[in-house]
Structure 1
Amino acid sequence: MATYTGLDRPKSKFYYQFWSIFFILGLCGSMALLYFATKKVEYIWRWNRVPQYFLYEEKVTIRAEMEGKIVSIDPAGAEGKNVRVLVRGDDGEETHELPKESLLLSSGDHVYAGDNIGYYTHWKPGILVEGLWLTLEVSFLAIIFGIVLGLFTGLARISDNPALRWGAITYIELIRGSPLLVQIFLWYFVVGTVINSILAQSGFGQIPPLWFGVMALAIFTGAYTAEIVRAGIQSVHRGQMEAARSLGMTYAKAMRKVILPQAFRRILPPLAGQFISLVKDSSLLGVLSIRELTKASREVVSSSLQPFEIWIVCAILYLILTFTLSMFVQYLERKAI
């Protein structure tokens, strides 16, 4: 039985099985080589310390806010696992509810302001999870703004209006001709300083660095998206527009109903590549003290002295993000066909 998987002639079943086994063996060999290399490195691997940077149990100390005496300790909570501590002093009284097993004092004890009464614990997301979430947030916002900006700029790029066309060309060439890191610096240190100075003089609050980073990524992505949109529109045969206009459609309606749906199917693959690059480019926002995934990983490496484990985990997290985005775009591509 033949298996047809490409644009050339069908291949035999043996051909498919042979190269599948070859791929699996190559993958296993690469993993074995990597494992052998790790054993030759004089490094103490401490993978057991990595989970705490995803989720950890925080201990919160409960302290007395005034000087006084503990006059009562009563059960609290539905299951009686907590106690309510009443402290009474010259300045009034205060109550604290905490787990029974964490109580450090007893009824009748005298406490001063700042004395430790007990503690409670709760689970919190680790620094890597916070960095991952911020990377997702920044990437999502930049992708949305970049799509909108790229769509309008791509349409302006092919417009008959010379002002729109030349303006789009100038924007695209300026953005694509300068490094993203330089653009991030300009947005934060130049544009951001000017805008925040004006807002401060007007009595308004300051714009966080996160938004300047998002705008830098969005404008950078918009320039590349505009060229992708322009190429996709021009790849549709001009007879499609002529046919739509002959049916009485306006230019805008023909573009919306006929041209753009066809162009959308063709620009999905290059758009996926651009958005995947955007997710990875978000790591540059660490220069603005934005704790996205790369900066969070760098902070963990500095405090834990575990460079190999943390950077490997960081790479895996980026791979999960980009692979998920790639699968989503492939799903859209199948739905659009």
Structure 2
Amino acid sequence: MTRKQRRTWPWHLLTGLILVVVAVGIWYSTSLIAYEWRWNRVPQYFAYQAEEAQRAADYGRVEAIRDQGDDALVTLLGESGDAQVLSVARDSLQFSQGDDVAEGDVIGVNRHWAAGPLLWGLWTTLWISVAAGVFGLLLGLLTGLCRLSANPTLRHLSTLYVELVRGTPLLVQIFIFYFFIGTVLNLSREFAGVAALALFTGAYVGEIVRAGVQSIVRGQDEAARSLGLSAAQSMRHVILPQAFKRVLPPLAGQFISLVKDTSLVSVIAITELTKSGREAITTSFSTFEIWFCVAALYLVINLPLSQIANRLERRLAQSD
């Protein structure tokens, strides 16, 4: 054991002890309210076996039934002489060979694995986060450059946009965008939710970009201009690459915050991860179990994102 390890192991031990105390505290708190843990109800909200009814297309009779593993192949012979072959789960078969069937009768069901509400909510959260993040990044880059522009109109309009967005709650912005702008322009709730999140993210990204560009010494731009580069070329090839290295940590933090902010679009009836969790609770009555799973799914998204940002930051630092 090295000297550094000898100095730090008590602190690692203390960290583990604190986590154990927190876990015991959570368990004790639930015991005080006589909460009964029902983890066995949770898996069906991730994936479940869906049943699809197989129905007779016409009046007729069951001509033949042939076993095929756990399934049964049922041949129906209609009044017109047409044969219909259905594959159903053997234990769900409702008729026997020779029975008469009517149009629409359920012969049996097919079972297949399907994604549960929590997985669908996770997918919705992911694509909304990606879409809002991409548009927010582009809007923020444009806003940050406008904030530094020598043109007073661009500078004033971008400043007004940033201050309006930063000075009002995101929830209010979502309501305004969906119930006012969305109604006037006949926008879908998904479009309105992504647009509101992108506008919100763009304002903060714009300030991050502005601060990053201003952190680069003016001598860099002057040196680039003296080599014959235009202002746009200097910004693109000299200033922005250096600024990107400095703004990567706050940008990563902003996008992690965006993933969590997607929970607010549930107020306009978008079934993302948080809303899926609430709906699962109403049918399972497993409040703590579902919320712990929802929190874990958010961590599944955000922890890798944070690790990727940290690794990229280290690689960029080594390239200096």
Compute the TM-score of the two structures, normalised by the length of structure 1: 0.88
When structure 1 is superposed on structure 2, of 226-235 and 240-249 the one drifting more is 240-249
Q: What corresponds to 2:31 in structure 1?
A: 39
- Residue 62 of structure 1: SS of its match in structure 2? strand
CA distance in 2, matches of 1:27, 1:303: 31
**Higher relative contact order, structure no. (Cα contacts within 8 Å, ≥ 6 residues apart):** 2
Which of 213, 219, 228 is equivalent to 1:239?
Answer: 219
Which of 169, 178, 182 is equivalent to 1:188?
Answer: 178
CA distance in 2, matches of 1:52, 1:75: 29
Query: Are residue 308 (structure 1) and residue 288 (structure 2) matched?
Result: yes
Which of 267, 278, 282 is equivalent to 2:262?
Answer: 282
Query: Are residue 333 (structure 1) and residue 313 (structure 2) matched?
Result: yes
8 Å Cα contact 1:66-1:91 kept in structure 2: no
Question: What is the 5 A alignment of 1:96-245?
Answer: 96-196=86-186, 207-245=187-225
State the one-letter code of the partner of 2:280.
V
**What stretches of structure 2 of length at least 5 have no aligned partner?**
none
1:263 CA displacement: 0.6
Query: Are residue 49 (structure 1) and residue 37 (structure 2) matched?
Result: no
CA RMSD of aligned residues (A): 2.1
- Residue 170 of structure 1: SS of its match in structure 2? helix
Encode CA deviations 1:277-301: one digit per residue, 9 max, x unaligned. 1111100111111100011111111
When structure 1 is superposed on structure 2, of 21-30 and 130-139 the one drifting more is 21-30
Q: What corresponds to 1:200 in structure 2?
A: none
State the one-letter code of the partner of 1:183.
Q
Q: What corresponds to 1:27 in structure 2?
A: 19
8 Å Cα contact 1:73-1:86 kept in structure 2: no
CA distance in 2, matches of 1:232, 1:302: 46
CA distance in 2, matches of 1:43, 1:27: 21
Moved over 6 A (4+): none
State the one-letter code of the partner of 2:53.
T
- Residue 113 of structure 1: SS of its match in structure 2? coil
**What stretches of structure 1 of length at least 5 have no aligned partner?**
4-11, 197-206
8 Å Cα contact 2:70-2:89 kept in structure 1: no
Aligned length: 317
State the one-letter code of the partner of 1:111.
V
Encode CA deviations 1:299-331: one digit per residue, 9 max, x unaligned. 111122221111121122112222222112112
CA distance in 1, matches of 2:111, 2:22: 43
CA distance in 1, matches of 2:90, 2:278: 39
CA distance in 1, matches of 2:37, 2:116: 20
Compute the TM-score of the two structures, normalised by the length of structure 2: 0.92
